[in-house]
Structure 1
Amino acid sequence: MTVKYTVPGLSTDQVNELIGSLQGRLSAYNDLHLTLKHVHWNVVGPHFIAVHEMIDPQVELVRGYADDVAERIATLGGSPKGTPGSVIADRTWEDYSIGRDTAIAHLGALDLVYNGVVEDNRKAIELAGELDPVTEDLIIGQTAELEKFQWFVRAHLEDIGGRLSTGGASSEAAASDAARVEG
């Protein structure tokens, strides 16, 4: 998409690059808040209530992040895409693979989900840092909160020595299995 106008001080080429990056973040946030809600509905076991109640505030903040990113795209002169098809088209990750399972198994998988979102946010921060401090600031603030959410998740997966039960897992299924064994 080529913008017809943009904010003062940015070229249309710069804005098109920013919008592409922001669209990826919008799709990731839409996917993440749906994944978090899926976890909220599918956790079972002794840690059910703690995880069930921990997830809802994350869902609400991530929904807000999607809205903020969509509004930044529009401010830059773009047209945010928030449809299910756009989420699927923008995906560079697999769909969340864990159904009804223990809270600890879901937390193991969520740790990997957060890894992916935070890593991609850091790439978006780097790009925005070269082009637009306003966009950079937006994503930095969101990433700080996502890292805190991941800390909440990891606190359930960590032993007294600081080792994560999911350390080295390369898939959600492997992380779930490792968390289940250790938890």
Structure 2
Amino acid sequence: MAQDLTPEYTVPGVELDAAGRLIGLLRMRLHALNDLHLTLKHVHWNVVGPHFIAVHEMVDPQVDRVRDMADDVAERIAALGGVAQGTPGVLVEERKWEDYSIGRADAIAHLGALDLVYTGVIKDVRAAIKEAAETDPATEDLLIEQLRDLEQFQWFVRAHLESTGGKLATAGAATETDAASRGADLG
């Protein structure tokens, strides 16, 4: 049974029940962002190979920005009258995706898997934008800003996976392991 997230108060112009739906929507975005920044740090710590330094240094600014995104989402939840649940237990209990599956691996293999991670996160943000647009332009705007950055980060990742002819090595990959394998074939 779904938890009732309807707050006791919210921002002016948003109905309480709508605020509850927005809080639920943002709660999943918060989980996704917290998970993403931890995944990016995991990649940062476990990347090896000839492309190590490029990927190692590319990932840290993404970690910092994703952490800022999580903070913005948590503060929006609070402004709407909700509780920003940022603990690991709640994240693991409520998330709808599996944990990142690649350990110590070649940089290009990690980038192959990260491409798939970013695809999932971006699809979910786009769906959240569509839902928020019906209720609250401030929440919609917050998500649109984050979408632009997430798409840019995926572009950075994909630049390492794309051939000069425009073919993406991870095209058609269904799992992180498959995407990592296809990426590693490039390296």
Could you tell me which of 115, 118, 126 is aligned with 1:114? 118
Indicate the residue corresponding to 1:19 in structure 2.
Answer: 23
Indicate the residue corresponding to 1:32 in structure 2.
Answer: 36
> CA RMSD, aligned part only?
0.6
Partner of 1:157, secondary structure, is coil
TM-score, with normalisation over the residues of structure 2? 0.97
- 1:55 equivalenced with 2:59 (yes/no): yes
Amino acid at match of 1:35: T
Indicate the percent of aligned positions where both proteins have the same amino acid: 65
Shift of 1:86: 1.3
Amino acid at match of 1:71: E
Residue by residue over 1:89-147, the C-alpha shift from the partner in whole angstroms, topping out at 9 and shown as x without a partner, is 22111100000000000000000000010000001100111100000000000010000
- 1:131 equivalenced with 2:135 (yes/no): yes
Shift of 1:182: 2.3
Amino acid at match of 1:51: V
Indicate the residue corresponding to 2:96 in structure 1.
Answer: 92
- Compare 85-94 and 39-48 and name the one that shifted more: 85-94
Residues of 2 paired with 1:149 and 1:143: CA distance?
10
TM-score, with normalisation over the residues of structure 1? 0.99
Amino acid at match of 2:141: D
Could you tell me which of 159, 182, 185 is aligned with 1:178? 182
Aligned residues between the structures: 183
Q: Which runs of 5+ in 1 are unaligned?
A: none
Residue by residue over 1:6-47, the C-alpha shift from the partner in whole angstroms, topping out at 9 and shown as x without a partner, is 001111110001000000000000000000000000000000
Q: Is the 8 A contact 2:108 2:186 kept in 1?
A: no
